[in-house]
Structure 1
Amino acid sequence: MEKGIALAQLLLEGNQEDSWVLIEEQRKAHRDSLYIYDSIFTTAMRHVGYLWETNNITVADEHLASSTCDFLLARYLWQQKKDHHIDPIGKKAMFLCVENEQHYLGLKMTSQLFSEAGWETRFHGPNLPLEYVKKAAEEWKPDAICISFSILYHAEHLEPYIKELEKLPNRPAIIVGGRLLEKYEFARHGSDRTMFMKNLEGVKNWLDRHPHGVKTSVGY
């Protein structure tokens, strides 16, 4: 917790180098990616969110912290790939936020867990309308599609996204995530094939149970 709060302050300062020193200390202490993403990055950004919600920082401050965090996440994955040989498993996953959803850092951490597990990934980021999701998925044929949202009223987009993407001929696994899943139940928006991941630990556990990817002919 303390490291996460310390990182939050550095992110709010836009201090990329000292932020990276903090992350490197955790790597050298042999902390795994799940710990670094969940206990350090996520704690930091939730603290930033709390400060914004309580009017202790401005929107500009929050954006600076988010952009600095984005940079650090990219640098972290680059360093992990440089330091560790990752065998590709021949599976593909795409990642996106539903229409109008702008919060994507949790989704980016999820995509990086997939990358470290050997998946080929495409990170489409925030606010991707369904028509473009379908087109991209039809062309690339991913084995898994991960959808994220963080604002409660954006849940209204879930059902059409899930319904249309589960119709894709290659039958990708549909995974839904976001911080609200720890507080609310959204299963009614999906089918028995839809997986709802409450946190990064759930994602990591799923990846560990599927070391060779998913069999797209089987519903989950």
Structure 2
Amino acid sequence: MDVQHEILAHHFLQGDEQGAEEYIKTLLEKHPRAYLYEDIITPAMYYIGELWERNEISVADEHLATAICDFVLSKLHSESGLVSRRHQKNFKAMLFGVEEEQHYIGLKMVADTFKNHGWRVRYLGPDLPLEHSFTQIQKYRPDVIGISAALPYRLKTIKRLLERFSQLEWNPLIMIGGRIVKKYDLKEFESEHVMVVKDMDHLKRWFNEGREETINETS
């Protein structure tokens, strides 16, 4: 097997924390973290999802793989070091999976990306009910709200969230991401205050183009 994401996927499926961590560290010697997220870890988790859809692995296998991936991501984040206070920005992001959405690995990678760019981040995890999310948002008043979904029947929930978020007086930027944006055209949701994030490269370009600096101009 010579496909990198499949090699990593099989470390995850075998519950091989050490093997997965060592393999990722080897890749990081040659590639930036953004490449690791977009071209290795994300395809690895999609590959695992496809195996489950074809009944080649069980739900327990998928949960084990997710747990190992989560462990490795947490380890990488802890070893990467924190952004110094001198370089920390005043921007705030809040990230969560919509109600009943269980997938969260992509969200953790997005949270890490925001932190690496000096943002203050509140990661609320998957499956957050609408009212709870709205309460947290009103308390924290983030500049960016990132929501994630994988399956098409989450579209109704996304619409409900966008309707509620449109009532926020400070007009935060809403980012929609997750596997759903790979499979479906969500252009109808896009606006001055709503951005559909197609992948990690798209988010990276947003930062590199200095788009974050325009947030306060549109709020």
Structure 2 portions without partners, runs of 5+: none
- Secondary structure at 1:167's aligned position in 2? coil
Structure 1 portions without partners, runs of 5+: none
- 2:149 alignment partner AA: F
Structure 1, 207-216 or 121-130: larger mean CA deviation: 207-216
The CA distance in 1 between the partners of 2:125 and 2:210, in whole Å, is 24
Q: What residue in structure 2 maps to residue 93 of structure 1?
A: 93
- How far off its partner does 1:217 sit? 4.8
Q: What residue in structure 2 maps to residue 56 of structure 1?
A: 56
Pick closer, same or farther for the CA change 1:88–1:213 going to 2, 3 Å: farther
* Deviation readout 1:37-64 (Å, 9 max, x if unpaired): 0111112111111111111111000000
- 2:69 alignment partner AA: C
* Deviation readout 1:4-58 (Å, 9 max, x if unpaired): 11111110111111110011111222x1111000111112111111111111111
Q: What residue in structure 1 maps to residue 25 of structure 2?
A: 24
The CA distance in 2 between the partners of 1:176 and 1:58, in whole Å, is 29
- TM-score computed with the length of structure 2 as normaliser: 0.92
- 2:80 alignment partner AA: Q
- How far off its partner does 1:192 sit? 4.1
Q: What residue in structure 2 maps to residue 206 of structure 1?
A: 206
Q: Does the 8 Å CA contact 2:206/2:212 hold for their aligned counterparts?
A: no
- Secondary structure at 1:215's aligned position in 2? helix
Q: What residue in structure 2 maps to residue 44 of structure 1?
A: 44
Map of 1:26-175 to 2, 5 A cutoff? 26-29=27-30, 31-81=31-81, 87-175=87-175
The CA distance in 2 between the partners of 1:212 and 1:181, in whole Å, is 21
RMSD (CA atoms): 1.9
* Deviation readout 1:81-109 (Å, 9 max, x if unpaired): 26x76821221101011111111111211
- How far off its partner does 1:68 sit? 0.6
Q: How many pairs align?
A: 217
